[in-house]
Chains A and B, each alone.
Chain A
């Protein structure tokens, strides 16, 4: 069966410090990978998605970047955090290219980032 791991679960960082959140998927190959953010009182905002190694699509101009160094690894980074980067970050994966059916995303448990 497939599982998705995301860490760290909780992170408190000062403004201006770097960030690295990591996500790995097991039990599948060549998945679509996604990073979403849930800010306080807001919905799920898509930040980045990837359909393959080294292929990253950015949805929102921001202070963050993403990388996919391996097939089942997705990393969210920042060189200098801002207060507005605080939120709940969610990694997700889906099966690529099903001919029919909804694109069901399976989410990780999330990472709570607080920037002080």
Chain B
């Protein structure tokens, strides 16, 4: 049962434009959502998170939006840069329920075209 889904396996965006990565979830107990970035042969690195009580969180070029009623979140990267080319994973946890696990989606490979 895939509780966190990233339905787009890949995305190509022109440098300087906006990249939008999407994620859907099914478990209504999730209370925190995170985005990770992963380069080949490296471990994922944390980008940004959002609590389920918020609908937006911004950090520099990265903004995460949460639509709790639709069980959907998205990561916006503006402007997109060549160094943003990587695999992006959405993750979720039910921390307020005492759950210390992170459940990850299958990832979206973002390619920034110079």
Contact = CB atoms under 8 A, between A and B. Distances in A.
B25 interface: no
B100 interface: yes
Nearest to B100: A32
B46 to A, nearest CB: 5
Contacts of B95: 98, 102-103
B106 A43 contact: yes
B44 A90 contact: yes
Nearest to A104: B46
Which residue of B51, B93, B100 has the most chain A CB atoms within 10 A of its CB atom? B100
Interface hub of B33, B93, B105 (most chain A Cβ within 10 A): B93
A110 B49 contact: no
A43 B107 contact: yes
What does DSSP make chain A's interface, helix, strand, loop or mixed?
strand
Q: Give the bracket for the number of chain A residues in contact with chain B.
A: 20 to 34
Contacts, number: 64
Interface in A39-84: 42-46, 49, 51, 59
Interface in A1-55: 6, 32, 34, 36, 42-46, 49, 51
A88 B101 CA distance: 19
Interface residues of B, number: 25
Contact of A108 (B33, B34, B43, B49): B43
A32 B50 CA distance: 21
24 contacts: A34-B101, A34-B102, A43-B104, A43-B105, A43-B106, A44-B44, A45-B104, A51-B100, A90-B43, A92-B43, A98-B95, A101-B32, A101-B49, A102-B50, A102-B93, A102-B95, A103-B32, A103-B93, A103-B100, A104-B46, A105-B102, A107-B43, A110-B42, A112-B41
Interface of A: 6, 32, 34, 36, 42-46, 49, 51, 59, 88, 90, 92, 94, 96, 98, 101-110, 112
Given A34-B102, A49-B101, 6 more contacts: A96-B100, A102-B95, A103-B102, A107-B44, A109-B43, A110-B42
Interface of B: 6, 32-34, 41-46, 49-51, 89, 91, 93, 95, 100-107
